[in-house]
Amino acid sequence: MDLTTDVKNMVRRLEVEGLSANQAYAIISTLTKFLNINLDHLTQSVVSKSIMNEIRRLEAQGLPPNQAYIIISTLTTFLNTNLDHLAQFVVSKSAINEFKEEQNSDLSQFKLEMKHMQEIIEVEAGLEAGKFEIMKYCVGTFVSAGSICLAFVLFWK
């Protein structure tokens, strides 16, 4: 039986407390291993109340203790298998949630990049429009200066 923990969340909490990411991860992984080992030993040595009631019920039906033990061990194995499947489901669900968070982060980063690109395109378009206006001004200035010069030349002739 494995203890499923949200390692990222616990590492973040330790980082907030001032530990580096490597230190926090090492502490959390050590604690998780320690707790998993202790939980395994505990589940092997402790019989739950429901199992004790089941043993008493089977013994009351007249089954020998060995058969009652075999039935209970089969039920326990079945339940442990179901618990392992549930734990794997929870782990896969947390992995899916992490993947979704990662995708949302990537999407928001992409949206931000697209916004910046749009702003850059708008600034470039403004610069091009400014260049065109300057060229129109220069051409207009040269044409008017040329017409004035032509007028003086024609006037003095």
Assess whether 94 and 30 both reside in one domain. no
3-state SS, residue 60: helix
Assess whether 2 and 68 both reside in one domain: no
Q: Which residues, 6+ apart, have CB-to-CB distance to 19 below 8 Å?
A: 27
Query: Do 75 and 93 fall within a single domain?
Result: yes
Residues 41, 101: one domain?
Answer: no
pLDDT at 9: 81
Q: What is the pLDDT along the chain (157 residues), one digit of tens a residue?
A: 445 567 788 888 888 888 888 888 888 888 888 877 777 766 666 666 777 777 777 777 776 667 767 777 787 788 788 888 877 877 777 778 888 888 888 899 999 999 999 999 999 999 999 999 999 999 999 999 999 999 998 888 7
How many domains does one find in the chain? 2
Same-domain status, 61 and 109: yes
Q: Residue 16's domain spans which residues?
A: 1-46
Query: What is the predicted pLDDT for the residue at 1?
Result: 47
**pLDDT of 45:** 63
Specify whether 79 is located in the same domain as 110.
yes
Task: Check whether residue 18 and residue 86 sit in a common domain.
Answer: no
CA 152, CA 95: separation in Å to the nearest integer?
A: 85
On whether both 93 and 151 belong to a single domain, the answer is yes
Distance of CA 55 to the CA centre of its chain: 46
| Residue 6 CB partners (closer than 8 Å, separation 6+) | 94
Residues 29, 71, single domain; the answer is: no
The residue type of 85 is: H
For residues 5 and 35, membership in a common domain is answered with yes
Do 36 and 53 belong to one domain? no
The token pair that represents 156 in the structure block: 């003095």
Same domain, 29 and 61: no
